[in-house]
Amino acid sequence: MPDQEKSLQMTILMTPDMANFAGNVHGGSILKLLDQVAYACAARYCKSYVVTISLDQVTFLAPIKVGELVTFRSHVNYVGNTSLEVGVKVFAEDLQQKEIRHTNSCYVTMVAVDDDRKPISAPALELETEFEKKLFEAAKMRKQLRQEAVKRNREMTADIPDYNSDLIKK
């Protein structure tokens, strides 16, 4: 068993309760499972409770059918101070045809928290291979892009009136 458990795999059979109106698996069912596998991967890595702060670059590359066996492969790509990025790749298997397709990918950012749900330090990531170093650098770049997008969006929308302020009771 390695010192740091950075990867986690979860396999689930797609059942009829996960179907959308077209009879394929609902995108929302996949999103829930993406979040669950990222949670399990991050919590096991951190040995603490973790919460999801963002989920991005979710791609639905091909439909998944009810009855298929779906495997979620997750890996801790990057650890900052309190946050970590988990990359998830999804593969669907047609059990009769024995055909396996890459159907989804996404990046989930989780934050390690204490019992009061306040952010705490996540264990520093040991980069053991060239591949892990590349994953880390790419994830670091994505973190910078996320921060830049938040900042630029704030700047560009600063003078737009907030039409939703009536929803938040002061």
Interface positions with ligand COA (CB under 6 A): 51-54, 80-83, 109, 111, 113, 117, 119, 146, 150
Q: How far is the CB of 29 from ligand COA (least distance, A)?
A: 16
Q: Which is nearer to ligand COA, 106 or 111 (CB)?
A: 111
Question: In the complex, what is the shortest distance from the CB of residue 85 to ligand COA, in angstroms, rounded to a whole number?
Answer: 8
Question: CA of 77: how far to CAs of 126, 129, 138, in Å?
Answer: 11, 12, 8
Whole-angstrom distance, CA of residue 50 vs CA of residue 46:
8
Report the residue number, 83 or 103, with the smaller CB distance to ligand COA.
Answer: 83
The residue (of 92 and 108) whose beta carbon lies closer to ligand COA is 108
Q: Which residues pair with 166 in a beta bridge?
A: none
Q: How far is the C-alpha of 135 from the C-alpha of 132, rounded, in Å? A: 5
Q: How far is the CB of 145 from ligand COA (least distance, A)?
A: 10
Per the DSSP assignment, residues forming a β-bridge with 11 are: 71
Integer Cα distance of 100 and 94 in angstroms: 7
> In the complex, what is the shortest distance from the CB of residue 99 to ligand COA, in angstroms, rounded to a whole number?
35
Nearest approach in angstroms of CB 40 to ligand COA is 14
Residue number, 74 or 109, with CB nearest to ligand COA: 109
Q: Which residues of 34-54 are buried (b: 16+ CB within 10 A; e: fewer)?
A: bbebbbbbbbbbbebbbebee
27 vs 119, which CB is nearer to ligand COA? 119
